[in-house]
């Protein structure tokens, strides 16, 4: 027969080994939440998720699906863009970028997706089930505008105001992918990929300024060139005819608040040396440019 003193070391070792020994899971935690069955790192704590090399390596080694280009890899935080968010899916245990791409391709509005590991509660959180054990879900979120690393800001949330007792959700191993843009559009071809700079509308050294106008198209960057080409092909004034255009996304404080793509029309072509418009800042507003490309008319 063993005394409690004799058993104490064994009880202590078992408590140390139990992954959720410090949790007070109420017996009413009886409604299971969604669980894709992905691995739970270490003891399931937030620290374990943030430090887990397996989740990080999985995101970093994920294959880029055909028809898409990687925007960022292994970020801490999922994409947060209320203007372009469409929906999300919970995948099976596998971090399957191809499956997520299939969901995006099947949605005519989708041009980008974000796949990531989510630390979620095992049970539905309620007043009597405030901090259940975690599970790992693989999420696939779809967007109607391109994603970028500066949009991966949804890092964590608590399920109740009292953070000391509530469950903390985390989003780690986050990868973003954008639909690969078509380089050529009818009667126009891609001239330059300008990145974070747009063609300047007015320049001091351009006596015969070719700038005509700019539109905000509802299209994504994948479909904007074709729509902008149509605008350019029919843009005439008494002295000008559009032969060149520049498409780009304008971010306001890191978010595409307009929900579309800019389409600037010109009556003469310009090279990358004219791409000096990097946005502006003032009054608490920071406007930046991304995914800028220029197209020139064939045979005009």
225-229, long-range: CB < 8 A, 24+ apart: 225/181, 225/182, 225/185, 225/188, 225/190, 225/293, 225/295, 226/182, 226/185, 226/186, 227/263, 228/185, 228/261, 228/263, 228/265, 228/295, 229/185, 229/186, 229/187, 229/188, 229/295
Tokens 């949804």, residue located: 154
* Domain limit, last residue, from 155, 179, 203: 179
- Mean pLDDT, range 224-240, rounded to an integer: 81
Domain extent, residue 225, equals 184-297
Q: How far is CA 22 from the centre of its chain?
A: 35
* Domain limit, last residue, from 123, 155, 179: 179
Residue 9 domain-assigned (yes or no): no
Residue 2 domain-assigned (yes or no): no
Residue 15 domain-assigned (yes or no): no
- Mean pLDDT, range 272-276, rounded to an integer: 94
Is residue 142 located within the same domain as residue 237? no
Nearest to 146 by CA among 179, 104, 117, 123: 179
Question: How many domains does the structure of the chain reveal?
Answer: 2
pLDDT of residue 62: 92
The pLDDT tens digits of the residues spanning 110-135 come to: 888 999 999 999 998 888 888 888 99
Q: Is a pLDDT exceeding 60 seen at residue 90?
A: yes
Whole-prediction pTM value? 0.57
Is residue 171 located within the same domain as residue 149? yes
Is residue 32 located within the same domain as residue 168? yes
Residue 208 domain-assigned (yes or no): yes
Is residue 153 located within the same domain as residue 256? no
Token digits for 188?
A: 């126009």
Q: Which of 78-87, 166-175, 179-188, 213-222 has the lowest mean pLDDT?
A: 179-188
Is residue 160 located within the same domain as residue 265? no
Is residue 163 located within the same domain as residue 84? yes
Q: Where are the beta strands (DSSP E) in 122-243?
A: 134-143, 156-158, 168-179, 184-185, 188-195, 211-217
pLDDT of residue 183: 58
User: Which of 9-13, 121-125, 158-162 tops mean pLDDT?
Assistant: 121-125
């Amino acid at each position: 027969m063993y005394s409690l003193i004799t058993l104490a070391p064994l009880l202590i070792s078992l408590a140390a080994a139990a992954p959720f020994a410090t949790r007070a899971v109420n017996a009413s935690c009886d409604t299971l939440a969604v669980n894709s069955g992905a691995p739970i790192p270490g003891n399931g704590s937030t620290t374990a998720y943030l430090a887990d090399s397996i989740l990080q390596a999985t995101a970093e080694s994920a294959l880029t699906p055909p028809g898409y280009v990687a925007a960022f890899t292994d970020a801490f935080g999922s994409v947060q863009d209320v203007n372009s968010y469409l929906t999300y899916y919970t995948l099976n245990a596998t971090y399957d970028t191809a499956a997520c791409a299939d969901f995006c391709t099947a949605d005519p509005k989708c041009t980008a997706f974000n796949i990531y590991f989510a630390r979620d509660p095992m049970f539905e959180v309620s007043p009597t089930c405030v901090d259940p054990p975690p599970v790992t879900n693989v999420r696939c979120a779809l967007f109607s505008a391109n994603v970028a690393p500066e949009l991966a800001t949804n890092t964590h949330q608590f399920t109740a105001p009292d953070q000391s007792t509530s469950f903390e959700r985390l989003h780690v191993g986050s990868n973003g992918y954008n639909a690969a843009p078509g380089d050529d559009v009818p009667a126009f071809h891609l001239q330059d990929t300008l990145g974070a700079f747009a063609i300047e509308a007015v320049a001091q050294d351009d006596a015969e300024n070719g700038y005509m106008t700019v539109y905000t198209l509802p299209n994504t960057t994948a479909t904007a060139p074709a729509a902008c080409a149509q605008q350019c092909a029919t843009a005439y004034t008494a002295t000008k005819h559009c032969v060149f255009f520049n498409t780009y996304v304008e971010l306001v404080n890191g978010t595409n608040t307009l929900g579309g793509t800019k389409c600037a029309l010109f009556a003469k072509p310009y090279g990358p040396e004219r791409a000096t418009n990097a946005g502006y800042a003032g009054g608490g507003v920071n406007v930046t440019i991304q995914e800028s490309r220029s197209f020139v008319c064939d045979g005009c």
